[in-house]
């Protein structure tokens, strides 16, 4: 009787796994074929002829980066080049590298599950799909000559002029002196990080509980909070630029934010 129960337990344990071949590889192969067919049909329909070799004396308008860099080029609209081209990409790479060290949730490792890891999955969906992929789509289909915004059905008019007066946030708030403007920008940025970090702490405390925070530790929490708050700074700055034409929040002779 005991041997039968043991054999049954072993069989149940063995049945919860499937081989990579042919189950996973077959599905991946079918998806790859589908994507290849879609790309071939799309390349036939879209007007993208091969042009003459690049001419260093003639810059095309619009001058676009390859599609996989269009997200960075779109971020240059809202941030200083050092911030959009160096700081944010570096934080993205570092953030992806430290995920295994700051994630203490053992569930979902090696298999897919949504409920035990819904916050982690939703954070990735927001950061990758809603931010990164959406900026690539905007740069590909909605940016035309002069890097102006066009609807997909509008003709790209190279002579289009958009009257925009971009101002810095301290100037918009009434500060004219340089030192007062710099202090205002520093206070706004510092306040954003403090308030956002406290809000993130309260949210984690409510969603996960105090016991989880104690196991998580202060260092892991601060690293995660910094990465999360920096990620949210991108849509926040985009909103300020598109809604209020705010160019920079902190302006100094060395760097601008």
pLDDT tens for residues 153-211? 888 888 888 777 888 888 888 888 889 999 999 999 999 999 999 999 999 999 888 89
- Going by the DSSP 8-state scheme, the letter that residue 110 receives in this structure is S
pLDDT at 57: 86
Q: Is the dihedral of CA 66, 69, 72, 74 positive or negative?
A: positive
Beta bridge partners of 256: 251
Residue 27: CB atoms within 10 A of its CB come to 10
Determine the structural domain holding residue 39 and report its residue range: 18-49
- Residue 43 located in a structural domain: yes
Peptide bond into 62 cis (omega under 30): yes
Residues 6+ apart with CB under 8 A from 61: 145, 146, 158
Residue where the block lists tokens 């953030």:
95
Question: If DSSP codes are grouped into helix, strand and coil, which group holds residue 67?
Answer: helix
- Residue 83 located in a structural domain: no
Q: How many domains does the chain have?
A: 1
Q: What secondary structure does DSSP assign to 205-245, as a single string?
A: HHHH-HHHHHHH-HHHHHHHHHHHHHHHHHHHHHHHHHHH-
Half-sphere exposure of 80 (CA within 13 A, CB side): 14
> Is the whole-model pTM more than 0.85?
no
Q: What secondary structure does DSSP assign to 127-193, as a single string?
A: IIIIIIIHHHHIIIIIB-GGG-B--TTS---TT-------B-HHHHTT--SHHHHHHHHHHHHHHHH
- Residue 28 located in a structural domain: yes
- Residue 29 located in a structural domain: yes
Whether 105 and 118 have beta carbons less than 8 Å apart is answered as no
- Residue 135 located in a structural domain: no
- Residue 36 located in a structural domain: yes
Which residues of the chain carry a pLDDT beneath 70? 1-15
- Residue 67 located in a structural domain: no
pLDDT at 232: 93
Mean pLDDT score of the chain: 86
Whether 239 and 158 have beta carbons less than 8 Å apart is answered as no
pLDDT at 166: 85
- Residue 216 located in a structural domain: no
């Amino acid at each position: 009787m005991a041997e039968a129960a043991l054999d049954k337990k072993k069989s149940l344990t063995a049945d919860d796994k499937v081989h990579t071949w042919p189950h996973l590889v077959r599905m991946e192969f079918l998806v790859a074929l589908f994507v290849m067919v879609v790309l071939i049909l799309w390349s036939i329909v879209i007007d993208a002829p091969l042009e003459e070799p690049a001419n260093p004396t003639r810059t095309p308008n619009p001058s676009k980066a390859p599609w996989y860099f269009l997200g960075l080029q779109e971020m240059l609209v809202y941030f200083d080049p050092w911030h959009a081209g160096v700081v944010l990409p570096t934080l993205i790479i570092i953030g992806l590298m430290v995920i295994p060290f700051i994630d203490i949730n053992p569930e979902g490792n090696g298999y897919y599950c949504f409920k035990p890891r819904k916050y982690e999955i939703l954070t990735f969906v927001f950061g990758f799909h809603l931010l990164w992929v959406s900026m690539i789509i905007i740069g590909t289909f909605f940016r035309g000559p002069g890097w102006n915004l066009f609807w997909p059905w509008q003709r790209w008019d190279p002579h289009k002029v958009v009257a925009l007066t971009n101002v810095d946030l301290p100037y918009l708030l009434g500060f004219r002196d340089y030192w007062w403007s710099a202090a205002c920008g520093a206070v706004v940025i510092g306040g954003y990080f403090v308030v956002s970090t406290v809000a993130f702490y309260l949210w984690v405390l409510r969603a996960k509980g105090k016991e989880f925070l104690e196991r998580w530790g202060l260092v892991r929490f601060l690293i995660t909070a910094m990465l999360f708050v920096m990620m949210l700074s991108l849509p926040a700055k985009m909103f300020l630029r598109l809604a209020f034409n705010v160019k920079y929040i902190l302006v100094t002779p060395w760097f601008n934010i």
